[in-house]
Amino acid sequence: MTVARGLRLDVKRALAVGVVGLTGAVAALVLVLQLAGSSDAVDVKLGDPDFRGIDAADLADEIAERGPVPFPDLVGHDLPIWVAHRGVDPAAGWVVVSARVPGSADCLVQWDAGDGAGTGRFVDGCDDAVGWPADGTGLTAVAWTVVDGELRIDVAGVGAHGGTTP
């Protein structure tokens, strides 16, 4: 009569395989953690460093008719800006300034059109007795460039004096 045998378990072999597998898994984990933490050169930058997609000629015409254009906070940099244009060449004459009153965290710069005869100026939204000329002198400049008819505003380089055309 034949007796059926069950599964034979070699305990030593099973332990050896288990120890080798566990050691390999721990070694792989240590390697991955070392590689992940070995460099601080990772610099995540989402999107472009400049605000794009603005047709310079169209915006210059709009500003000539209605005055400077405000843009709210751009790309989460807490950077509301004013964009103005002076002259007739859409590739030059741009005035791009921060809409934050210098030295204030709470007050914003506003545009006062004056009598409408080209006498407009920027004013402190908290104290309209404080103002700056239409060319933005005294406000924080934001760099800009015009490339192939497109106005690009450097939202990453606040305070850099711009105004270049390649």
How many residues are listed for the chain in this entry? 166
- Output the pLDDT for position 151: 92
Q: Which CATH superfamily is domain 50-158 in?
A: Rieske [2Fe-2S] iron-sulphur domain (2.102.10.10)
Asked if residues 145 and 162 have their Cβ atoms less than 8 Å apart, the reply is yes
> What pLDDT, on the 0 to 100 scale, is given for residue 166?
39
* Cα–Cα distance, 59 to 85 (Å, whole number): 8
The CA distance from 158 to 8, in Å, is 74
> What is the model's pTM?
0.64
Provide the pairing of β-strand 150-158 with 50-55. Answer: antiparallel
Q: Which residues of the chain have pLDDT under 50?
A: 159-166
